[in-house]
Structure 1
């Protein structure tokens, strides 16, 4: 059972504010904006933070916003981060608040994350139950475009230094209102590769023997890729290599051997050593396939997000605080690491802190065209942030 109830004044204020938060969340959902184009969203965030009396800085890393709230005499500083961007996909929910923008939707719940953090800013500005400084970090472009490193290149932690930084993401198909974290490795490093095999096209029927066929090299490469993890990565470690795109030739010319075939895919890992190994072996396998069939080879390997690791001390402290507030049965600190990626990992490379999942209950998965953020968890998201503020900045 919980042993540390939420301050009564915050619960009262939260009950009054909740209908407004739902309205805001659904407004953001109707008006999604993709990475680095979150102009309207960032404007709403900045306006609401100013109305609460926070110091507001805009345009950090493109469209990022930071609001700073100080209370009491404490000199410890923490950061709370939420992401703001939507996905480039067409929504199929049919909801009254469905996206009004073609081929854009909040398919990952960043509308909810932004709303929960704004709600927490309101609760803590009106009820300062902490002593110290909080930087509320609203980040653009989490969905694969590098919004976190963009903010950091723009001086995020030099301009707004923190002793620790915290994140939160909703997760469908975890019990509604539960909290889920892995201590240590929680989410994978994510990389992208593009491999192009070049040959000499020809007639697939009468002149195949005169061609240099890049389709053979590509086929061998794709097949042999799957041996890398099984024969090079320890069974006590993890790695994933998947091909997501193959292109070559013309659909309307199936009798023509193409002169170029492109293979693209994703690579996931947890440890830096395994990440290095997978990149090295992928290049070797590509080279071997090209040499076997006499093609040219062009490999581009792009490291996107690092692996997200939750530091034991900081994470354990927040686990204890959440259990005191919500009850031990609602807080799981032994989550199975997942091979999804999250660019909050860049922030945890520069600072201690932690990243939790908040259960959203049963429903369509993240990035589904039928997904919608569960408004029933908005209040618990706000309580999460208030709990961390009280734990890390005890008044």
Structure 2
């Protein structure tokens, strides 16, 4: 036991440099220890009891310094994945590109990673780059300082020791955070080539946290943006969705820097923002999404995507109706044409599960136009009804739909039992009811 502890102490000091390390003590920073989860404290204590070093790292430290309560806590340690797994019974080693350990505490899952080192050669099987310079495997273990300097941005590279209440900074991240500056660590061109997703992460952090991207980083982002095309589609979609659901989607479309990169991946955004009616609809939809994030309510990714693509569906729908097709047949043709075209030419591939939900939301827009009879009851049972309903109210709000239709559905949904049956027998406008009001239901992620 003692021998093992001394072995860990020797390993932690080997290669460690204190030259570039800045310690910021509790009287100098604003971190509230009460905002650290019980699970994070338990994990750190469990590692320390076995002789390892362990710290909260990354975005959680950044958020704590900003006075926010982190959604997730990541832990960094000098223990290897196998050693971590040996300590925590309910744990699992995951990842190939970047091996780490998921540790399960009741309802909370912690990510615990081993300090990484950056190497300059591709000759090690534990570290590989592709032909563009993108890192596709990164499992060389190193010191805490090396781990800090291989992270993406200075504000994400700080460590925090809960027991000592000390902040450890190797890259001037604390200074940059105070100055509201977002700066990549190292040479920008090299770091964005290593992982082009850092471009989207820069967009999200800048927008969400109100940080200004420094000039060299922004210049490199613009030069390297086409490298995003080399990122696996699932990861690209996930990171794009994080930008749209970060709580500042409206801001992301209003700031030139973020709009530029989102427009590359979703050119439909530029189309929607170029015409007043479409722009108003999209910004209203994103504003509702931002409000739900602020209120800690779940959002439907399909709802957001359906709103972004809606102007494409609407224009096709209108053209199909001019050929004499009925509304539902016309919108079916419009949706099929758009999805087929997008599947052949899009940069950002939408997963099938979201595509199906978008289709349901769009199809409902034709069905909402029928406001009497059994169809109104059948529509209530449609998958993603609440999302489709909110979508319809947004359309009425910007003049894309007769407000009498929105009014009918609001009255229909407000009533129950016999009253609902009575309303369903009346055609549009033939029942007493108050005028249309902007009223949005909570489209839960399970329902819409």
Question: Which TM-score band (shorter chain)?
Answer: under 0.3
Which fold has the larger relative contact order, with Cα–Cα distance below 8 Å and residues 6 or more apart in sequence? 1
Structure with higher strand content: 1
Q: Give the TM-score normalised by the residue count of structure 2.
A: 0.22
| Bigger proportion of residues as helix | 2
TM-score by length of 1: 0.24
